[in-house]
C-alpha cells in the first residue's frame, strides 16, 4: 500500500506533467500567434509597397499627360523655324497635343472725316493654334482664325469668317534641312509669319505688309527650311501662284488663293534668308516669283452678248529686304519691298469694263494694275520702364513709324496712274505690356494721299497671346 509520501510524489509528478503540457500548448499557441502576426505584417508591407508602386505609376502618367497636352505655362515662349512664339509651342513637346493662340480688338475714331467711313469697334481676330507631335521628327501644326466675331453678315458689315491660316506637316531631319508640306505661310517680310499682336507696334499692321506683301499670305506648297552655321536661317518653297484675276489698282491682296481650291496651273517659288551676326541684329531678304494667270478663260455675259476673256500669264515678282536692331530698350526696324507685274496692260484690259468682247468688270474705267509697286517703312521705339521703375518686367514703349507706298508707281501704256494710291503714313503711338503676353496699344495715324483725302485715325487696341 503506497504511503502518503508516495501519493504526494505521484501527485506532484502529474501536476508537473500538466504544467509542462500547458506550457507546451501555450508556447505552440504563442508561436502560432507570432507566426500569424508576422504573416500579417508581411502582407501589410506588400500592400503598402503595391500602393506606392500604383501611386508612382499614376504620378508618372499625370506628368506625361500634362507634358503632352500643353507646354508648361511657366516656360517662356520663343520663336522657332520662322513662326511666332505661340505658334512654336509644338516644337517644345516630346509627344502629344499643344494648344496656343492669340486675339486682338480695337477701336478706331476718324479725325476730320472724309467720305463715308465710320468710327469702328471690332474684335478683329481670335486665333487658336493646335499642334500634334507624332514622333521626335514628325509633327502637325495649324492656325485657325475667327475674324470679326461672327461668320454671319449684316447690312452694316461684311460679316466675319473662319479661316485656316496655316496647316502643315513638318519633318525634322537635321538642323540644316527639314521638310514642310501643306498650307504654309509665305516667308516674306516681318509680319506674314510673326503677326501676333505683341510682336509689332501699332494697333494695325503696317500697310506695306498688307497691300504689297499681302499678310496674312498663305498658299499650298512644299519646301525646306533650316539653320546654317547657327547664324543663318533659310526657307525655300514651291507653292501655287497668285490668281491674277484678284489683282487691282490697290495691290495684290485679293490675288491670294488661301488654300481654297487653289488654281495651280502656274506654280511659284519663294525663298528667304535671315542672318543674325549678333543677338541684337537681324538682316535678311526674300524673293517670290511665278506666273499668276493660271491659264484662265473667264466667261462674261454683258450687253454685247456672252464671250470669254483670257487672263494673261502675268509673271509676278516680289522682293524685299529687312533689318532689325534690339538692345537696351531700343528697337529699330525697317523694310523695303517692290513688286513687278508683267503683262499688267493686258491684265488691266482683261479685268476692265465689260463690253465689246473684252473686260470682266473687275476694274472700273481707266483703272489699271500697276506694273510696278513700291513700299518702305521704318520705325523706332524705346522702352521707358527701366528709367521709371528699375527692375520692372513691364514695358512702356513710345514709337514712331514712317510708311510710304505706291501701288501705281508704274502703269502700263494707255493708262494713267492713280495718285490716290501714293500714300504716306505717319504713325505715333504707345505700347504697354503689363506682362509679356498682354499688350495695350494706342496710336495716331496721319495719312496723306498724293491725290484726294484720307482721314486721320486715332486707334486703341488690346491683344494677348498664350
Where along the chain do its domains lie?
1-69, 99-465
Quick one: how far is CA 261 from the chain centroid?
22
In the prediction, which pLDDT does 123 show?
A: 96
Distance linking the first and last C-alpha atoms of the chain: 111
Q: Name the grid cell of 432.
A: 504697354
How far is it, in rounded angstroms, from Cα 53 to Cα 238? Answer: 53
In the prediction, which pLDDT does 18 show?
A: 47
CA dihedral 450, 453, 454, 455 (to 10 degrees): 140
CATH fold, domain 99-465, is: Porin (2.40.160)
Query: Which regions of 350-421 does DSSP assign to beta strands (E)?
Result: 372-382, 395-410
Cα 157-161-166 angle, rounded to 5 deg: 145
Q: Name the grid cell of 345.
A: 496692260
Q: How far is CA 3 from CA 12, 140, 382, 383, in A?
A: 14, 109, 125, 122
Q: Would strands 281-291 and 267-275 be described as parallel, antiparallel, or unpaired? A: antiparallel
State what percent of residues in the chain have pLDDT above 90: 74
In the prediction, which pLDDT does 9 show?
A: 40
In the prediction, which pLDDT does 57 show?
A: 84
In the prediction, which pLDDT does 25 show?
A: 43
In the prediction, which pLDDT does 154 show?
A: 55
In the prediction, which pLDDT does 142 show?
A: 98
Segment 389-413, tens digit of pLDDT: 998 999 999 999 999 999 999 999 9
Q: Name the grid cell of 448.
A: 496723306
CB 397 within 8 A of CB 414: no
Q: What is the helix, strand, coil percentage profile of the chain, to 5?
A: 20, 45, 35
- DSSP assigned state of 77: P
Contacts of 38 (CB under 8 A, 6+ apart): none
Q: Name the grid cell of 457.
A: 485715325
**Count of residues making up the chain:** 466
3-class SS of residue 240: strand
List, for the chain, all residue ranges whose pLDDT scores fall below the cut of 70.
Answer: 1-41, 64-74, 113-116, 153-158, 357
pTM for this structure?
0.83
Quick one: how far is CA 23 from the chain centroid?
86
Q: Name the grid cell of 67.
A: 507634358
Amino acid at each position: 500500500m503506497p504511503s502518503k509520501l508516495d501519493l504526494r510524489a505521484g501527485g506532484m509528478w502529474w501536476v508537473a506533467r500538466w504544467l509542462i503540457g500547458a506550457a507546451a500548448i501555450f508556447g505552440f499557441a504563442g508561436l502560432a500567434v507570432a507566426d500569424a502576426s508576422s504573416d500579417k505584417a508581411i502582407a501589410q508591407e506588400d500592400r503598402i509597397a503595391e500602393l506606392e508602386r500604383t501611386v508612382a505609376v499614376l504620378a508618372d502618367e499625370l506628368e506625361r499627360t500634362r507634358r503632352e497636352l500643353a507646354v508648361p505655362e511657366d516656360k517662356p515662349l520663343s520663336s522657332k523655324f520662322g513662326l511666332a512664339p505661340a505658334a512654336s509651342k509644338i516644337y517644345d513637346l516630346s509627344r502629344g497635343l499643344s494648344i496656343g493662340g492669340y486675339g486682338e480688338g480695337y477701336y478706331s475714331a476718324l479725325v476730320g472725316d472724309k467720305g463715308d467711313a465710320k468710327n469702328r469697334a471690332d474684335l478683329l481676330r481670335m486665333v487658336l493654334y493646335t499642334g500634334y507631335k507624332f514622333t521626335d521628327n514628325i509633327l502637325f501644326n495649324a492656325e485657325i482664325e475667327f475674324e470679326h466675331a461672327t461668320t454671319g453678315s449684316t447690312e452694316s458689315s461684311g460679316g466675319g469668317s473662319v479661316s485656316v491660316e496655316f496647316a502643315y506637316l513638318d519633318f525634322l531631319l537635321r538642323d540644316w534641312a527639314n521638310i514642310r508640306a501643306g498650307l504654309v505661310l509665305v516667308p516674306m517680310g516681318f509680319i506674314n509669319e510673326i503677326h501676333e499682336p505683341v510682336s509689332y507696334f501699332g494697333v494695325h499692321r503696317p500697310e506695306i505688309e498688307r497691300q504689297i506683301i499681302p499678310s496674312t499670305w498663305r498658299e499650298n506648297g512644299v519646301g525646306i527650311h533650316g539653320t546654317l552655321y547657327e547664324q543663318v536661317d533659310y526657307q525655300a518653297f514651291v507653292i501655287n501662284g497668285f490668281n491674277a484675276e484678284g489683282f487691282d489698282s490697290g495691290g495684290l491682296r485679293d490675288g491670294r488663293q488661301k488654300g481654297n481650291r487653289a488654281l495651280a496651273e502656274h506654280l511659284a517659288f519663294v525663298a528667304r534668308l535671315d542672318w543674325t551676326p549678333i543677338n541684337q541684329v537681324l538682316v535678311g531678304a526674300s524673293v517670290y516669283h511665278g506666273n499668276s494667270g493660271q491659264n484662265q478663260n473667264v466667261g462674261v455675259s454683258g450687253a454685247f452678248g456672252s464671250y470669254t476673256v483670257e487672263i494673261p500669264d502675268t509673271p509676278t515678282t516680289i522682293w524685299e529686304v529687312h533689318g532689325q536692331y534690339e538692345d537696351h530698350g531700343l528697337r529699330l526696324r525697317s523694310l523695303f519691298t517692290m513688286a513687278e507685274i508683267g503683262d499688267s496692260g493686258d491684265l488691266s484690259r482683261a479685268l476692265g469694263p465689260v463690253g465689246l468682247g473684252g473686260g470682266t468688270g473687275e476694274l472700273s474705267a481707266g483703272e489699271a494694275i500697276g506694273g510696278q509697286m513700291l513700299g518702305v517703312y521704318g520705325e523706332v521705339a524705346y522702352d521707358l520702364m527701366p528709367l521709371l521703375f528699375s527692375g520692372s518686367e513691364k514695358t512702356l514703349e513710345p514709337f514712331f513709324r514712317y510708311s510710304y507706298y505706291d501701288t501705281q508707281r508704274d502703269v502700263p501704256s494707255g493708262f494713267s496712274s492713280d495718285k490716290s494710291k501714293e500714300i504716306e503714313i505717319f504713325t505715333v503711338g504707345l505700347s504697354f505690356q503689363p506682362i509679356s503676353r498682354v499688350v495695350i496699344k494706342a496710336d495716331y495715324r496721319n495719312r496723306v494721299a498724293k491725290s484726294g483725302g484720307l482721314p486721320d485715325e486715332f486707334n486703341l487696341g488690346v491683344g494677348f497671346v498664350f
